[in-house]
Amino acid sequence: MSNPKTRRAQSIIKPDRDRRFVTEDNPFEAMMNRFDDAARRLNLEPGLYKVLRSPEKQIIVSVPILRDSGEIEVYTGIRVLHNTSRGPAKGGIRFDLAVTLDEVKALAAWMTWKCAVVNLPFGGGKGGVICDPTTMSAAELERLTRRYTAEIIEILGPDSDVPAPDVNTNERVMAWIMDTYSMHKGHTVTAVVTGKPVEMGGSLGRKDATGRGCLVVTKRALDRLGIPVEKAKVVVQGFGNVGSTAARLMAAEGMQVVAVSDKSGGIHDPKGLDIPKVIEWIKEHRFVEGYPGAERLTNEELLTLKCDVLVPAALENVITSKNAEKIKAKIICEGANGPTTAKADAILDKKGIFVIPDILANAGGVTVSYFEWVQDRGGYFWDEETVNERLEKIMVKAFDEVVAMAEKHQVSNRIASYMLAIDRVAAMHRMRGLYA
């Protein structure tokens, strides 16, 4: 007789069985396109190919909550663990109406490769709740978070699955997850999530980590192309935490940030924007729209500006086969996950644009999340200077390894990053063998 828990697990874990509905903007298909190319070049064994292309777990749960009005609303929550051969799953949780299983699967796989590229002892995971958090009160968001946590609590844990903030979630949401998990365990478990408040075991330097990682690899790329940092013109699409941090740090290094944008549109000054003033404007007015002394332009126009460095730090699929030919940047540093479609890759390669792929460029965030996890488990915390120094060391090493792989195999940086990551994950599977 089968175990009821086993039957329940089998009912919620649904392996990916086919690849229908292939479109350019499908995030899972974009990831698989790059994976297939890299696996072929590595001569990956057919059995390992099947293992690495399939998420380990795909969990879909109902998340009922009591609204402030007294009505009960039921939301859908998703958590995907793509691969945990190298360590616990690591990946964010997003609250958004656009959350889909395909998107979460793609992002979980990206996390597997991202952690492997920078050689962290993590696998990939991702999660989300399909909802509009802008319509919810703080109390409703807390109830949603705690119920979602309770629904997936069997897979959570410092040794199994460690969430982090993502779209529309933040350190307060992580605090609720940590508290809910701890209440179920009967003792405080700070290492179950990262991106927490510093007072609760969060790491110094975590907020700036993704943007700082973009700065580190961009400087490395500029040096490689012989472009002086102080003469580099930078365009940043997306001015959330990643984009604004990258812009601020790049400007502080002497680069000219000539254009930035958010969902209200973009602003452009060929002489360079005063980024601290732009940040202050947004704190007061919420959006860049209306910022004085700068030319207005659309997000689409911003992407095609002539510049040395383009940092797409907003959403997926902003550089496609429709606009890739118009891109004039010498370097693209992908601050967002999946900003470039697979079809656009070939066009950018042909144009000779030096692309720093997302699984390398924005790995600073997960790297400092790893530092947070290590500090929580050790009960010893580092100063911010130590965090930043160790982050730079890891990012520089990963950048050099990706470029070396690209040169060795005569492939793009993106395919090289996938080859490096897949090779590391596959090596772990070969050593561990197959449990049966």
Compute the distance between CA of residue 12 and CA of residue 385 in angstroms, rounded to an integer: 44
On whether both 287 and 161 belong to a single domain, the answer is no
Q: Is the pLDDT confidence value at 276 over 70? A: yes
What would the pLDDT profile of 301-354 be if each residue is shown by its tens digit?
A: 999 999 999 999 998 889 999 999 999 999 999 999 889 999 999 999 999 999
On whether both 187 and 215 belong to a single domain, the answer is no
On whether both 140 and 220 belong to a single domain, the answer is no
Compute the distance between CA of residue 78 and CA of residue 61 in angstroms, rounded to an integer: 6
- pLDDT for the residue numbered 315: 81
Q: Which 3 state secondary structure label does DSSP give 311?
A: strand
What would the pLDDT profile of 223-273 be if each residue is shown by its tens digit?
A: 999 999 999 999 999 999 999 999 999 999 999 999 999 989 999 999 999
What would the pLDDT profile of 156-215 be if each residue is shown by its tens digit?
A: 999 999 999 998 999 999 999 999 999 999 999 999 999 999 999 999 999 999 999 999
CB 191, CB 361: distance < 8 Å: no
Compute the distance between CA of residue 385 and CA of residue 409 in angstroms, rounded to an integer: 36
Q: Is the pLDDT confidence value at 5 over 70? A: no
Q: How many CA atoms lie within 13 A of 76 on its CB side?
A: 10
Other Cβ atoms less than 10 A from the Cβ of 320: the count is 16
Helix, strand, coil percentages, rounded to 5, for the chain: 50, 15, 35
Q: Is the pLDDT confidence value at 8 over 80? A: no
Q: Is the pLDDT confidence value at 3 over 70? A: no
338: which 2 tokens?
Answer: 């999946």
Choice among 90, 126, 196, 330 that is catalytic: 126
On whether both 287 and 169 belong to a single domain, the answer is no
Structure confidence at residue 25 as a pLDDT band (50, 70, 90): confident
CA-to-CA separations, 402 to 1, 79, 90, 116, 170, in angstroms, rounded: 50, 29, 21, 11, 31
Asked if residue 415 is part of any domain, the answer here is no
- pLDDT for the residue numbered 26: 78
On whether both 189 and 237 belong to a single domain, the answer is no
Give the mean pLDDT of 375-403: 98
- pLDDT for the residue numbered 22: 52
Asked if residue 351 is part of any domain, the answer here is yes
On whether both 213 and 264 belong to a single domain, the answer is yes
Comparing 22-31, 240-249, 292-301, 389-398, the range with the smallest average pLDDT is 22-31
Domain that residue 80 falls in: 4-33+46-197
330 tagged catalytic: no
On whether both 228 and 149 belong to a single domain, the answer is no
End position of a domain, from candidates 361, 389, 405 = 361
Asked if residue 378 is part of any domain, the answer here is no
Q: Is the pLDDT confidence value at 430 over 50? A: yes
Please report which residue ranges of 241-326 form alpha helices under DSSP H: 241-252, 275-285, 299-303
Other Cβ atoms less than 10 A from the Cβ of 404: the count is 12
Q: Is the pLDDT confidence value at 17 over 70? A: no
- pLDDT for the residue numbered 24: 79
Strand partners, 125: 81
- pLDDT for the residue numbered 225: 97
One-letter amino acid for residue 435 of the chain? Y
Q: pTM for this structure?
A: 0.90
Rounded to 5°, the CA angle 196-367-384 comes to 65
End position of a domain, from candidates 143, 171, 197 = 197
What would the pLDDT profile of 101-158 be if each residue is shown by its tens digit?
A: 988 998 899 999 999 999 999 999 999 999 999 999 999 999 999 999 999 999 999 9
Provide the Cα torsion 276, 281, 287, 293; round to 10°.
-90
Q: Is the dihedral of CA 128, 132, 134, 135 positive or negative?
A: negative
Compute the distance between CA of residue 51 and CA of residue 315 in angstroms, rounded to an integer: 28
CB 164, CB 92: distance < 8 Å: yes
End position of a domain, from candidates 361, 381, 396 = 361
On whether both 93 and 232 belong to a single domain, the answer is no
* Residue 58: CATH number of its domain: 3.40.50.10860
Listed in sequence order, the residues at least 6 apart from 26 whose beta carbon sits closer than 8 Å to its beta carbon are 102
